[in-house]
């Protein structure tokens, strides 16, 4: 892992010249550019092949920097930041007037978060300004949780990669729309609705999926119908349906001892989440030409029910029908 000040200085220089930097977070690796440089932000969209109606999350070092990208920073946001930042919670608020609208895909709001990784916090503080940071991979594909995943997505020196080791959480942040009353979770994550409701003292709602209408800017990343997808076609199956799968299917599940090609997953929700994207990539690599991936639907009850819901959100989008 490259944790030294020399690598951070190189990354800062790349950002100041309008270039792209991949940075580690506790969730997934992000692709950074200066949030106030529209040409640099456009390079993020171009490098990823990202649809223009899919906005970007802005990464900051804390509430003070967050105030630079929003119109107002309410007391509720302070309470959330005190409880969950640095950490995997993105807060949606009305965007500042001077924030380039390419960041928000022309919408009125912006999602902002403070990542829980010392290397990236050092990068943001050294740069001194907010950074956009969508996942550092091609749009719609499996999110990266290691520097090797990032390097597999981009050619040569297109992206400068800060190596912070594997991501510990493994799925993207919870996104909370605080611009609405009551607040609404737009994307589930490991910070749960119950935890947020407890901090705010109000019931937090779960918002509907956005869909893929390119004419309507979505309010949060991760809301497109088909997302996080491996190259091989993936499907959700029940445990009883595994025996009927055709040859050449790679199975992802808890108990795959009888399968020729399989990826075994942790049984706890947070361990499963941390391993999910690596498992999808490993299954993709193991798939023969024309093969498929089958993900056995995990049991989603118990104490971590909301984390399982976040896992299932990613699996449903990864396995969505393709045109």
The values of phi and psi at residue 130, to 5°, are -60, 150
Instruction: Give the torsion sign (CA, 132, 134, 139, 140).
Output: negative
Residue 214, pLDDT > 60, answer: no
State residue 227's pLDDT score.
77
Looking at residue 228, what is its pLDDT? 86
* Over residues 166-174, mean pLDDT: 97
What is the CB neighbour count within 10 angstroms for residue 260?
A: 11
Average pLDDT over every residue of 159-187: 96
CA atoms within 13 A on the CB side of 73: 15
Number of alpha carbons in the 13 Å side-chain half-sphere of residue 60: 21
- Between CA 21 and CA 12 the distance in angstroms is 9
Burial class of residue 312 (count of CB atoms within 10 Å of its CB; 0-12, 13-18, 19+): middle
**Residue environment code for 208-246, b if the CB has 16+ CB neighbours within 10 A, otherwise e:** eebebeeeebbbbbbbbeebbbbebebebbeeeebeeee
pLDDT tens, 40-88? Answer: 999 999 999 999 999 999 999 999 999 999 999 999 999 999 999 999 9
Interatomic CA distance for residues 147 and 51, integer angstroms: 24
Burial class (CB in 10 A: 0-12, 13-18, 19+), 30: buried
pLDDT digits (tens, 9 = 90+) for 230-255: 999 999 999 889 989 998 899 999 97
Question: Between the CA of residue 185 and those of 129, 159, 197, 219, 237, what are the distances in Å?
Answer: 27, 32, 11, 11, 27
22: nearest Cα among 187, 148, 172: 148
Mean residue pLDDT across the chain: 91
What separation in angstroms does the CA of 137 have from each of 48, 65, 147, 172? 6, 26, 11, 13
Confidence class of residue 261 from pLDDT cuts 50, 70 and 90?
confident
In this structure, are residues 174 and 190 in contact, taking their beta carbons and an 8 Å threshold? Answer: yes
Find tokens 């193991």 and name the residue. 286
Query: What domains are there in the chain, each with its CATH number?
Result: 5-206 (3.90.870.10), 234-318 (no CATH)
Cis peptide bond upstream of 86, omega within 30: yes
Mean pLDDT confidence for 117-126: 97
Q: pLDDT by residue (tens digit) across 281-312?
A: 999 999 999 899 999 999 877 789 999 999 99
Range of weakest confidence among 184-188, 221-225, 271-275: 221-225
> Rounded to two decimals, what is the model's pTM?
0.92
Residues in the chain: 323
Q: In this predicted structure, what is the pLDDT of residue 276? A: 98
**Residue 163 — pLDDT band, cuts 50, 70, 90?**
very high
107-116 per-residue burial string, b: 16 or more CB within 10 A, e: under 16:
bebbbbbbbb
Whole-number Cα distances in Å, 320 to 211, 234, 316: 12, 8, 6
pLDDT at 199 over 90: yes
């Amino acid at each position: 892992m490259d944790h030294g000040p020399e690598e951070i200085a190189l990354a800062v220089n790349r950002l100041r010249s309008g270039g792209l930097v991949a940075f580690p977070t506790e969730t997934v690796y992000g692709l950074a550019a200066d949030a106030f440089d529209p040409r640099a932000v456009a390079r993020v969209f171009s490098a990823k092949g990202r649809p223009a109606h899919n906005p970007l999350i802005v990464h900051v070092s804390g509430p003070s920097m967050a105030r630079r990208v929003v119109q107002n920073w309410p007391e509720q946001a302070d309470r959330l930041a005190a409880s969950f930042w640095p950490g995997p919670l993105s807060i949606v608020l009305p965007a500042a007037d001077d924030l380039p609208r390419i960041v928000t895909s022309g919408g009125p709001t912006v999602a902002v978060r403070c990542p829980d990784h010392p290397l990236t916090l050092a990068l943001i503080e050294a740069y001194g300004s907010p950074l956009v940071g969508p996942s550092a991979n091609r749009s719609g594909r499996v999110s990266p949780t290691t520097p090797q995943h990032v390097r597999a997505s981009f050619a040569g020196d297109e992206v400068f990669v800060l190596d912070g080791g594997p991501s510990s959480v493994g799925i993207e942040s919870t996104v909370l729309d605080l611009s609405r009353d009551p607040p609404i979770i737009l994307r589930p994550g490991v910070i749960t609705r119950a935890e947020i409701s407890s901090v705010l003292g109000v019931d937090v709602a779960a918002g509907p999926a956005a869909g893929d209408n390119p004419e309507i800017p979505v309010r949060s990343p991760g809301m497109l119908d088909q997302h996080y997808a491996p190259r091989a076609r993936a499907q959700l199956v029940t445990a009883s349906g595994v025996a009927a799968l055709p040859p050449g299917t790679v199975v992802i599940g808890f108990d795959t001892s009888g399968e020729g090609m399989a990826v075994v997953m942790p049984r706890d929700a947070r361990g499963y989440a941390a391993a999910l994207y690596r498992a999808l990539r490993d299954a993709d690599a193991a798939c023969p030409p024309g093969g498929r991936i089958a993900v056995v639907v995990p049991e989603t009850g118990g104490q971590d029910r909301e984390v399982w819901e976040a896992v299932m959100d990613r699996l449903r989008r990864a396995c969505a029908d393709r045109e």
